[in-house]
């Protein structure tokens, strides 16, 4: 997606997390023993099932709640979730696919310049916070979008938000702020 | 006081008599003051000859304005327990601050922060320790003292990230902008700890310069300042001919060796490192560097690019090599002696065979998987053997030839023709072929039972884009399930054993009848009690459970029976009236202190209020000679006699909130000087008398 300047800024979505419910009780042991790509964790009470295409890892609880992580787009997440449900169906459970919701989207973006974090935090108090003792990035929380942006000094930016649209908006919002505190990289 | 100059005669010789409390001018004899107010401590004698001081303690941090009579009471009562919190906090701050060697000004500021935090209710749900540490760190940051969060976490033995979280939250809520940490702040402190003796200052200066240089070279953003300081100090020490090892420095600076070395190498990469010591002290290079992580990323990208280029070039070169190779092999073929026996069969296999072999493996129609597997395995093993034998006889070209024929499917032997690689490829291919075969058979068996695309009601599973065949691959067949079950059972034997034992235990207990259900976290809903009067409500509640061990319920019941007449009206009204918010918290706190279990707030309020009501009623009935009931408003005296601290704190706040919200029925509660709460309850009868006796004194005491 393009940002508000001439060059396009590539926003790469690295992870989409979604949840859905199967509305039926699942027997984890059956799934664990009859699935080819499952890890059963009885202490935690869940089963991890990994799909190859799309590359998704799902945590399955016996109550029927399932969390899908690892997808690279919202559609992929939905597809993966449906496949998972189909797989469970085939194992013999009366699965219904309900309450599918994308919960979290993680995207990475790289600015063509480095950012001076201390100036950035100074200009944007109190929304931005930077604690080098705790974390190397400055954290900028956009309340109305419910998105969090982590800015690293090299200019790479990590955005987490509830859906892809918010994430894109967050990047567009933060770009001018970062541009102010930029430091042009000396190409050596 | 105009004790300096007499009004009548202007004389300045004034005699002040403390005993009589008068000020008299000695020249003209006119009395200037009579009944001088003295500020001395007075004592009264209590029952049994015990003398106690008259007056109340007012805390320095308590209510700023004097506690007003009547309306002002609930606020000051609320602050009493608040004052306790603040007191405790202040004590902890002093303790922790002295360990950090903070001066008094810092400690006072920290205490102010703490007060703000408490007033914003941010201490709820957090350990006071953490909150105090965060306040102290906030002060350190705003004042710029060289204290790290790590120091605080060391003292408290708490994870530094937990402290950091609390600190960030407080800073955000209090809108305090803590200035960013400058590594330069830490240099003097660390230098001092490294014991450079007289030259400490010089070393510090050098280290400061180094740090500033590092800052300009973008080494400090995103890094812990202590790491930078450590590196700078190490270099500075060496520059001034002090021998400080990495170990010494990391002991002081609290980073790990790897970090320090990394910083040093990063500094090494900057152009400044090339300067000599003198040059460095004099000259400042203009050029700024990129941040080291960026440089590392660039480096990686470059390496990847190089690799790609190399791979491409390799491909080009390989083409050339392969044709040379073919030529060589044909030549060798001609010169090769004929093989006999079983080897002949294999030797005859040439390129057309390869095509066949390829086709057979790609067409996975193997009716009996196991037999094929065995065959393939046997084949490959003999090939292996063959290769070795032939190698000994002929040269390398032979080997590759054979391998090419037998290892038909693995035609990726274009690259370096080493023995290991193709064999590994052969063996590697085996399981994959097998699994492919397996999947195929499974598919076939599945086709019979494959269900139709069902549309389930509500929560339909939309099936487009889902490849059912692929999904079937995810499900194992019978035999595999068995194997997996075995494996899993073996792996998780411990866990299963535990579960079995637990079940047996539960069964046994059930038989014995001692089975205790695991306590569920969900609270049972308490049924609403219906009682016409508060008294009845209390009765019922008391029947159900005994709440406090310190309360003598029998006496309580007696009280109830006594005062049902006049108090019946007042207490329900009080119970029903909603307390103002200010009191809600204090009341709950009081309740919590009294009762061990959390119970329904309303019931508590009703019970409490009614208990208070009882007390009030008692007092009213006892002091009815002095005051009329309900209509008159009398002073409510609050004795904050803290001779017995907890009693005062606990006991005294109780009646106050209850009296105030109801202007209609302002019962006068004369607080007895309670020694103990339980004593009050138990000796209610005698307390009555006490109150009756001390009625006047209570009013005086203010």
Model confidence pLDDT, tens digit, residues A3-42? 445 467 888 999 999 999 988 888 888 888 877 788 888 8
Question: Which residues of chain A lie closer than 8 angstroms to B220, CB-CB?
Answer: 132
Closest Cα in chain B, distance from residue A7 (Å): 20
Share the mean pLDDT of chain B. 68
pLDDT of B274 > 90? The answer is no
CB A34 to CB B181 under 8 A?
Answer: no
Closest Cα in chain A, distance from residue B178 (Å): 9
Question: Which residues of chain A lie closer than 8 angstroms to B177, CB-CB?
Answer: 125-126
What is the average pLDDT across B174-191?
84
Among B220, B226, B294, beta carbon nearest to A154: B294
Question: Which residues of chain B lie closer than 8 angstroms to A64, CB-CB?
Answer: none
In angstroms, the Cα distances linking A108 to A12, A159, A160, A168 are: 5, 6, 9, 11
Separation between Cα atoms, residue A35 and residue A93, nearest integer Å = 13
State residue A86's pLDDT score: 85
Can you name the CATH fold of A111-182?
TATA-Binding Protein (3.30.310)
Q: Which two tokens stand for residue A180?
A: 């102010």
Question: Which residues of chain A lie closer than 8 angstroms to B451, CB-CB?
Answer: 90
Closest Cα in chain A, distance from residue B277 (Å): 25
What is the average pLDDT across B622-644?
42
What is the average pLDDT across B545-562?
72
pLDDT of B171 > 90? The answer is no
pLDDT of B170 > 50? The answer is yes
CB A155 within 8 A of CB A115: yes
pLDDT of B190 > 90? The answer is no
Nearest CA in chain A to B171: A126
Q: What pTM value is reported for the model?
A: 0.51
B226, B459, B464, best to mutate vs chain A, most A CBs in 10 Å: B459
CB A133 to CB B150 under 8 A?
Answer: yes
State residue B601's pLDDT score: 46
CB B694 within 8 A of CB B626: no
Specify which residues B659 forms β-bridges with: none
Other Cβ atoms closer than 10 A to B172: 14
Question: Which residues of chain B lie closer than 8 angstroms to A91, CB-CB?
Answer: 475
Q: Which two tokens stand for residue B47?
A: 């029952």
Separation between Cα atoms, residue B646 and residue B650, nearest integer Å = 6
Tell me, yes or no, if B271 comes closer than 8 A to chain A by beta carbon. no
| pLDDT band at residue B133 under the 50/70/90 scheme | very high
CB B222 to CB A183 under 8 A?
Answer: no
Residues 557-616 in B contacting A (C-alpha not used; CB under 8 Å): none
CB A48 within 8 A of CB A59: yes
A–B CB contacts, 8 A cutoff, strictly below: 136
Closest Cα in chain A, distance from residue B295 (Å): 9
Closest Cα in chain B, distance from residue A161 (Å): 20
pLDDT of B670 > 50? The answer is no
Q: Which two tokens stand for residue B296?
A: 């590392």
Among A94, A129, A186, beta carbon nearest to B168: A129
B49 Ramachandran zone, left/alpha/beta (phi>0; psi -120 to 50)? left
Tell me, yes or no, if B150 comes closer than 8 A to chain A by beta carbon. yes
Question: Which residues of chain A lie closer than 8 angstroms to B474, CB-CB?
Answer: 35-37, 51, 87
pLDDT of B566 > 90? The answer is no
Can you name the CATH fold of A16-104?
TATA-Binding Protein (3.30.310)
**Which residues, at least 6 apart from B489, have a Cβ–Cβ distance to it below 8 Å?**
B496
Nearest CA in chain B to A42: B495
One DSSP character per residue, B481-538 reads: HHHHHHHHHHHTHHHHHHHHHHHHHHHHHHHHT---PPPPSSPPPPPPP--SSHHHHH
Specify which residues B43 forms β-bridges with: B53
Question: Which residues of chain A lie closer than 8 angstroms to B488, CB-CB?
Answer: 32-33, 40
State residue B279's pLDDT score: 76
Closest Cα in chain B, distance from residue A96 (Å): 5
Other Cβ atoms closer than 10 A to B702: 12
All CATH 3.30.310.10 domain ranges of chain A, comma separated, are 16-104, 111-182
Closest Cα in chain A, distance from residue B142 (Å): 14
CB A132 to CB B221 under 8 A?
Answer: yes
Tell me, yes or no, if B473 comes closer than 8 A to chain A by beta carbon. yes
pLDDT of B511 > 90? The answer is no
| pLDDT band at residue B65 under the 50/70/90 scheme | low
Q: Which of B634, B458, B593 is nearest to B70 (CA)?
A: B634
Question: Which residues of chain B lie closer than 8 angstroms to A82, CB-CB?
Answer: 461-463, 465-466
Closest Cα in chain A, distance from residue B223 (Å): 6
* Secondary structure (3-state) at B33: strand
pLDDT of B576 > 80? The answer is no
Please report, for chain B, how many H helices and E strands are present, in that order.
Answer: 29, 5
State residue B625's pLDDT score: 45
**Helix (H), strand (E), coil (C) string for B160-171:** HHHHHHHHHHHH
Separation between Cα atoms, residue B343 and residue B370, nearest integer Å = 26
State residue B479's pLDDT score: 77
pLDDT of B630 > 60? The answer is no
Among the ranges given (A140-154, B8-22, B567-581), the one the predictor scored with the smallest mean pLDDT: B567-581
Tell me, yes or no, if B221 comes closer than 8 A to chain A by beta carbon. yes
Instruction: Name the one residue in this structure whose structure tokens are 């008294």.
Output: B535
Q: Does A168 or B392 have the greater pLDDT score?
A: A168
What is the average pLDDT across B615-628?
45
CB A132 to CB B172 under 8 A?
Answer: no
Tell me, yes or no, if B121 comes closer than 8 A to chain A by beta carbon. no
Question: Which residues of chain A lie closer than 8 angstroms to B160, CB-CB?
Answer: 133-134
Among B149, B150, B177, beta carbon nearest to A126: B177
State residue B390's pLDDT score: 65
E strand residue ranges, B14-162 = 14-17, 22-25, 31-34, 43-45, 51-53
pLDDT in tens, B43-60: 888 888 888 888 777 666
Separation between Cα atoms, residue A70 and residue B521, nearest integer Å = 34
Among B181, B288, B476, beta carbon nearest to A133: B181
CB A97 to CB B459 under 8 A?
Answer: yes
Nearest CA in chain A to B179: A122
**Helix (H), strand (E), coil (C) string for chain A:** CCCCCCCCCCEEEEEEEEEEECCCCCCHHHHHHHECCEEEECCCCEEEEEECCCCEEEEEECCCEEEEEEECCHHHHHHHHHHHHHHHHHCCCCCCCEEEEEEEEEEEEECCCEECHHHHHHHCCCCEEECCCCCCCEEEEECCCCEEEEECCCCEEEEEECCHHHHHHHHHHHHHHHHHCEECCCCC
Nearest CA in chain B to A38: B474
One DSSP character per residue, B335-354 reads: HSPPP-THHHHHHH--HHHH
Q: Does B569 or B488 have the greater pLDDT score?
A: B488
Among the ranges given (B234-248, B268-282, B536-550), the one the predictor scored with the smallest mean pLDDT: B536-550
Tell me, yes or no, if B438 comes closer than 8 A to chain A by beta carbon. no
pLDDT of B10 > 70? The answer is yes
pLDDT in tens, B451-503: 333 333 345 566 666 666 666 666 667 777 788 788 888 887 888 888 889 99
CB B488 to CB A114 under 8 A?
Answer: no
Q: Which two tokens stand for residue B154?
A: 């060391």
Tell me which H or E stretch contains B327: helix B292-335
Q: Which residue ranges in chain A fall short of pLDDT 50?
A: 1-4, 6, 188
pLDDT in tens, B194-216: 888 888 888 888 888 888 888 88
Among A32, A133, A155, beta carbon nearest to B488: A32
Share of chain B above pLDDT 90, in %: 5
State residue B551's pLDDT score: 73
| pLDDT band at residue B28 under the 50/70/90 scheme | confident
| pLDDT band at residue B273 under the 50/70/90 scheme | confident
B259, B446, B461, best to mutate vs chain A, most A CBs in 10 Å: B461
Separation between Cα atoms, residue A176 and residue B244, nearest integer Å = 46
State residue B37's pLDDT score: 79
B134, B174, B222, B490, best to mutate vs chain A, most A CBs in 10 Å: B222
């Amino acid at each position: 997606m393009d940002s508000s300047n001439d060059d396009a800024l590539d926003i790469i979505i690295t992870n989409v997390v979604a949840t859905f419910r199967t509305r039926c009780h699942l027997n984890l042991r059956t799934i664990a023993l009859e699935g080819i790509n499952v890890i059963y964790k009885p202490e935690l009470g869940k089963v991890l099932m990994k799909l190859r295409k799309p590359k998704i890892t799902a945590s399955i609880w016996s109550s029927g709640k399932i969390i899908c992580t690892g997808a690279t787009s919202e559609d992929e997440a939905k597809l993966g979730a449906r496949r998972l449900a189909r797989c469970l169906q085939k194992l013999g459970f009366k699965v219904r696919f309900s309450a599918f919701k994308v919960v979290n989207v993680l995207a990475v973006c790289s600015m063509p310049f480095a950012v001076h974090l201390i100036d950035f935090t100074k200009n944007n108090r109190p929304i931005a916070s930077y604690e080098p003792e705790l974390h190397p990035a400055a954290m900028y929380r956009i309340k109305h979008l419910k998105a969090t942006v982590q800015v690293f000094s090299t200019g790479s930016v990590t955005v987490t938000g509830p859906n892809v649209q918010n994430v894109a908006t967050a990047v567009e919002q933060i770009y001018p702020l970062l541009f102010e505190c930029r430091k042009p990289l000396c190409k050596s | 006081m105009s004790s300096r100059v007499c009004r009548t005669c202007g004389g300045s010789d004034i005699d002040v008599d403390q005993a009589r409390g008068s000020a008299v001018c000695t020249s003209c004899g006119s009395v200037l003051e009579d009944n001088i107010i003295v500020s001395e401590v007075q004592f009264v004698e209590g029952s049994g000859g015990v003398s106690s001081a008259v007056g109340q303690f007012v805390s320095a941090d308590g209510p700023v304005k004097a506690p007003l009579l009547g309306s002002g009471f609930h606020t000051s009562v609320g602050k009493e327990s608040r004052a306790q919190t603040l007191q405790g906090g202040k004590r902890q701050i002093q303790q922790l601050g002295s360990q950090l060697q903070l001066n008094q000004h810092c400690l006072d500021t920290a205490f102010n922060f703490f007060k703000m935090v408490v007033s914003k209710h941010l201490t709820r749900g957090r350990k006071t320790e953490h909150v105090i540490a965060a306040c102290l760190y906030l002060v350190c940051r705003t004042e710029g003292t060289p204290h790290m969060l790590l120091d605080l976490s060391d003292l408290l033995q708490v994870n530094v990230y937990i402290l950091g979280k609390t600190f960030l939250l407080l800073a955000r809520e209090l809108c305090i902008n803590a200035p960013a940490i400058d590594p330069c702040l830490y240099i003097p402190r660390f230098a001092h700890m490294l014991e450079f003796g007289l030259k400490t200052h010089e070393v510090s200066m050098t280290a400061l310069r180094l740090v500033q240089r590092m800052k300009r070279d973008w080494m400090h953003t995103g890094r812990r300042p202590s790491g930078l300081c450590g590196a700078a100090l190490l270099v500075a020490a060496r520059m001034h001919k002090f021998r400080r090892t990495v170990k010494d420095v990391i002991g002081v600076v609290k980073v790990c060796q790897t970090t320090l070395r990394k910083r040093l190498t990063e500094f090494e990469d900057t152009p400044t490192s090339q300067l000599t010591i003198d040059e460095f002290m004099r000259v400042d290079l203009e050029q700024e560097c990129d941040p080291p992580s960026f440089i590392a990323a660039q480096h990686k990208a470059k390496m990847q690019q190089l690799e790609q280029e190399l791979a491409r070039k390799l491909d080009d070169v390989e083409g050339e090599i392969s044709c040379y190779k073919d030529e060589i092999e044909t030549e060798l073929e001609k010169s090769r002696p004929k093989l006999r026996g079983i080897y002949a069969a294999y030797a005859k296999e040439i390129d057309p065979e390869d095509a066949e072999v390829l086709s057979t493996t790609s067409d996975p129609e193997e009716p009996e998987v196991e037999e094929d597997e065995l065959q393939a395995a046997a084949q490959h093993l003999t090939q292996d053997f063959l290769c070795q034998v032939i190698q000994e006889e002929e040269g390398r070209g032979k080997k590759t030839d054979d391998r090419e024929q037998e290892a038909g499917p693995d035609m990726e032997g274009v690259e370096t023709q080493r023995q290991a690689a193709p064999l590994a490829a052969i063996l590697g291919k085996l399981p994959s072929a097998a699994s492919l075969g397996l999947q195929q058979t499974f598919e076939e068996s599945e086709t019979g039972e494959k269900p139709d695309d069902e549309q389930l009601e509500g929560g339909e599973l939309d099936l487009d884009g889902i490849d059912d065949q692929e999904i079937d691959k995810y499900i194992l067949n019978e035999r595999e399930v068995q194997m997996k079950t075995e494996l899993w059972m073996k792996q998780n034997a411990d866990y299963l054993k535990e579960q079995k034992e637990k079940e047996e235990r539960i069964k046994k207990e059930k038989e014995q009848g001692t089975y205790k259900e695991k306590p569920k976290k969900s609270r049972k809903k308490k049924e609403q009690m219906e009682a016409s009067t508060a008294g009845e409500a209390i009765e019922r509640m008391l029947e159900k459970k005994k709440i406090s061990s310190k309360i003598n319920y029998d006496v309580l019941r007696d009280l109830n029976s006594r005062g049902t007449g006049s108090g019946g009206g007042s207490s329900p009204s009080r119970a029903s009236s909603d307390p103002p918010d200010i009191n809600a918290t204090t009341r709950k706190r009081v309740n919590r202190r009294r009762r061990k279990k959390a119970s329904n707030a309303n019931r508590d309020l009703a019970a409490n209020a009614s208990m208070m009501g009882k007390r009030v009623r008692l007092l009213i009935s006892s002091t009815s000679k002095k005051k009329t009931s309900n209509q008159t408003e009398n002073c409510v005296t609050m004795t904050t006699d803290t001779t017995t601290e907890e009693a005062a704190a606990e006991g005294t706040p109780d009646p106050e909130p209850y009296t105030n919200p109801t202007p209609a029925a302002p019962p006068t509660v004369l607080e007895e000087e309670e020694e103990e709460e339980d004593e009050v309850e138990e000796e209610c009868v005698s307390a009555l008398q006490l109150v009756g006796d001390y009625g006047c004194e209570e009013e005086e005491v203010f």
